[in-house]
Structure 1
Amino acid sequence: MLDDLLAGAIADAAERRVLRPLAAVEADALNQRPAIDALEALAPADRVRIIAEVKRASPSRGAMADIPDPAALAVSYEHGGASAISVLTEGRRFGGSLEDLVAVRSAVSIPVLRKDFIGEPYQVFEARAAGADLVLLIVAALEQERLQSLYTLIRQLGMTALVETHSSDEVARALDIGAGLVGVNARNLSTFELDQNLFGSLADQIPSGVIRVAESAVKTSDDVAHYRAAGADVVLVGEALVTQGDPMRTLQEFLA
C-alpha cells in the first residue's frame, strides 16, 4: 500500500510538473513569506499539543467528510486550541489537494503541514510555494540517502520536517538525519493495521530535545491521554475531528 501511494503521488507530481516546471515552482517557493517556526509552536508544554488534520478520506476508511471549506475547518481548529494544522494533499485516496493547503494557509496563523507521500524535490518546492511550514517525510517510503537529501532541502527552504517512523530502526534513521520532530504512526502503512501501544514502545528511543509526536488511533480524549502518559509532546488527530459533529468542541475536549 505504501509503495502504491508513493508511486501515485510522484506520478501526480510529474503531471503537475508538465504544466508548471520546477523553475517556476522554485521561484514561487523562494518568494513566499518565511515559514513559521514549527519547532517553537510544537515545543513541549504543560499540556499536550495537537496537530489537527483536514482529512476527507483514507484508504482504510474510504470517504469520511466532504469538507467543502477546508479554510473554515482550519479556523475552527485554531480557535479550538490546535498548535498546527495538517492538510492532506494526496488526491487519489485521501481526496486532498494543494489548493486545500493554500486555502488553509491563508486562513490561519499557526503552522501548516503538507501531509503527502513525498519522494522528490519537486514536491518539497510545491509545499513551500503553497505556504507550507512543515512537510511530512515517511522513513519507510525512502532510502536513507533520499531521506537525508529531502530533509536537507526542507531545512534549506526554512521549513520543518515531521519525520514519521513505525519501528525502532526507523526511529534510529530519523535521528541519524538530525530530525527535531519525530512522529510514531500507530498505523502500519504497509498493512494499515493499528497498534496504539507502538508509540510507548518507541518513545524512550527519542531523546530529550527532539519533539515526540504520536499519530493515528485517536478516537477519544482517553486516547490522547494514553499518548500523553506514554511521553507524547504532540498528538496528530484527523479522523476523530472530521467525523464528529463539532470539531472545535472535540478538539477542546482532547486538549482538556
Structure 2
Amino acid sequence: MTILDKILMKKQQEVEEMLAANVEFPKNETVRPSLYDTLRKAEQLQVISEMKRASPSKGLIAEGADPVKQAKAYYEAGAACISVLTDNPFFQGSFEDLAAVAEVVPIPLLCKDFMIHRVQIDKAKSAGASVILLIVAALDDETLADLHSYAASLGLDVLVEVHDVDELERALSVDAKLIGVNNRDLRTFEVDLTQTEAVAARFPFDEERVLISESGIWGPEDAIRVAKAGASAVLVGESLMRSDSVESALRSLQVAKAGVAE
C-alpha cells in the first residue's frame, strides 16, 4: 500500500464522518483576487507559499508553527497566494489553521488537502479558501470532473495537480486552467524537477492555461529552471518553513518568467 493509498483511506473515513454528522457550514462570501488572473498578469515567477508543519516523507518540518504569523510573513514578503495544509493525520494541519489565515491576509488562499467529495469543498470555502486542490492521482475521471465543476460553480479557483503527461491529459479533459506539476511522486514521495520539464514539453500554453511547479523548489536555480520550462509560479513549503528569512528566501524565487526580459 502506497502513502497515497493510506492517506485516501483516512480521507474516506473523514468524509463519512462529516456526512454522518450532517454539518451545515456557515457561508463565507469573502472576495479574494483570482489566482488565475494574478499568475497570468505577472511578469515574474510567483510564489504560492505553504503553511506546512510536517509531511509523511520528511516528518516534522516546523512543529508548532503559528499559521497566522507564517501567513503574515508570506504576505509581507510578496507571496501571490498562501497554501494551508488542512490534513491533520499526515501533515499536522487543520481547517482551523485555514480559517485563522483567512482572517489576516487578503490574497488568494489555497486549501491544500486530498479532496474526494463535495463536502470537503464546502468546508474549505466556509473556512475562507478561494482555491482548492484536486489531485488527479487521487481521483477517477468522473469524480475529478464532478469536483472541478462543483468548485467552479462556487466561484473557487481550482488547481488541478498532475505528476506526468498522462495525468496532464486527464486534467485537460476537465478543461483545467490552473495546472500544477507535483515533482514529488505521491506513491513513493521521491522528488524530481524533470517532471515539470516533461509536462511543460506537452503543455498547451497557447490555450491560456497556467503551469505551476510544486515540490522540490529550494532556491533561485530551481526557480530559474522551472521558469524556463514555462512555469508561472512555484508552490513552496518546506524550504520557506525552514528559512531564517522568509522575505529573502521568497524574493529569491521571483525570477523572470520565460519570454520576459530580465
Distance 1:67 1:227 in 2: 31
SS at match of 2:192: coil
Structure 2 letter corresponding to 1:42: L
- How far 1:245 sits from its partner (Å)? 1.6
String of CA shifts for 1:65-95, please: whole Å, max 9, x gaps. 0244201111110111110000000000100
Matched, 1:142 2:144: no
Matched, 1:46 2:48: no
String of CA shifts for 1:25-44, please: whole Å, max 9, x gaps. 2xx24x43345422112225
Structure 1 letter corresponding to 2:59: G
**Residues 32 and 107, structure 2, Cα contact 8 Å, conserved in 1:** no
SS at match of 1:198: helix
Structure 2 residue aligned with 1:92: 89
**Residues 148 and 177, structure 1, Cα contact 8 Å, conserved in 2:** yes
* Aligned residue among 60, 67, 76 for 1:63: 60
Structure 1 residue aligned with 2:194: 197
SS at match of 2:253: helix
Structure 2 residue aligned with 1:227: 226
Structure 2 letter corresponding to 1:229: K
Change (3 A) 1:205 1:112: same
Matched, 1:13 2:21: no
- How far 1:13 sits from its partner (Å)? 3.4
Structure 1 letter corresponding to 2:163: H
**Residues 48 and 233, structure 1, Cα contact 8 Å, conserved in 2:** yes
Structure 2 residue aligned with 1:176: 173
Structure 1 residue aligned with 2:210: 211
Greater shift, 42-51 or 176-185, is seen at 42-51
**Residues 35 and 158, structure 1, Cα contact 8 Å, conserved in 2:** no
* Aligned residue among 2, 5, 10 for 1:3: 5
* Structure 1 unmatched runs, 5+: none
Greater shift, 191-200 or 64-73, is seen at 64-73
- How far 1:212 sits from its partner (Å)? 0.3
Number of equivalent positions: 251
**Residues 138 and 163, structure 1, Cα contact 8 Å, conserved in 2:** yes
- Cα root mean square deviation, aligned: 1.4
String of CA shifts for 1:207-227, please: whole Å, max 9, x gaps. 220000000011122111111
% identical aligned pairs:
38
TM-score for both structures, normalised by structure 1: 0.94
SS at match of 1:42: helix
Distance 2:166 2:41 in 1: 24
Structure 2 residue aligned with 1:72: 69
Structure 1 letter corresponding to 2:15: A
Structure 1 residue aligned with 2:260: none
Change (3 A) 1:56 1:162: same
Matched, 1:236 2:235: yes
* Structure 2 unmatched runs, 5+: 256-262
**Residues 32 and 106, structure 2, Cα contact 8 Å, conserved in 1:** no
String of CA shifts for 1:117-152, please: whole Å, max 9, x gaps. 000111010011111000000001100000000000
**Residues 84 and 110, structure 1, Cα contact 8 Å, conserved in 2:** yes
Matched, 1:133 2:130: yes
Distance 1:33 1:111 in 2: 11
- How far 1:228 sits from its partner (Å)? 0.8
- How far 1:153 sits from its partner (Å)? 0.6
- How far 1:50 sits from its partner (Å)? 0.7
